[in-house]
Amino acid sequence: MDSEDRISTLLARLHQASPAGFAIALHVRFTAPKYLFQSYAKDWLDTYSREGLVLHDPVVRWGFENEGTIRWSGLDDPAGIMARAREFGLNHGAVIALTRNGRRTMAGFSRSDRDLTDAEIDGLKADLSELHDLTESVEALSPSVHMTLKQMSIYLTHG
């Protein structure tokens, strides 16, 4: 399996493990990721963008300030962003942040029905770590990968 097929496979697994959606920022430099994958519902993404919620998002803040994992329920959220997210079915989730070779990757994964188990979080972290490594030297994803992402309702933004 070539690296682009593996990237598609990993994103499909991450998508399946977080049915309420995810946001993955790969290889963040300063404040911009090389790749940003999002699978949250469009109405949440539109609200999040329109209201500038990223500026107060505890998931983003924790991802910039830490490495490892934390459940959303453990985040400090003075601006009430997580309460807003729950209005869109993003009831439970986890943040994963890692840094290797001077590059930071962070992600938020969500479920509407229940908390992620420790084993699920460990699996997400392993897949995210592999995705970080695979995309480190990739300059652009092929049109076939873009089509696969679109079919999974995963939005891709280039940094």
Measured in whole angstroms, the distance separating CA 159 from the mean position of its chain's CA atoms is 15
Q: In this structure, are residues 154 and 38 in contact, taking their beta carbons and an 8 Å threshold?
A: yes
CB atoms within 10 A of CB 26: 22
Q: In this structure, are residues 5 and 142 in contact, taking their beta carbons and an 8 Å threshold?
A: no
- The model's pLDDT over 82-111, given as tens digits with 9 standing for 90+, comes to 999 999 999 999 999 999 888 999 999 999
SS3 content of the chain, % helix, strand, coil (to 5): 45, 25, 30
Burial class (CB in 10 A: 0-12, 13-18, 19+), 147: exposed
Average pLDDT, the chain: 91
Domains of the chain: residue spans and CATH: 3-158 (3.30.450.80)
What H or E segment, with its residue span, contains residue 96? strand 92-100
What H or E segment, with its residue span, contains residue 44? helix 42-50
Please give the model's pTM, rounded to 2 decimal places: 0.91
CB atoms within 10 A of CB 52: 9
Query: Are β-strands 35-38 and 68-71 bridged in parallel, bridged antiparallel, or unpaired?
Result: unpaired
- The model's pLDDT over 111-127, given as tens digits with 9 standing for 90+, comes to 999 999 999 999 999 99
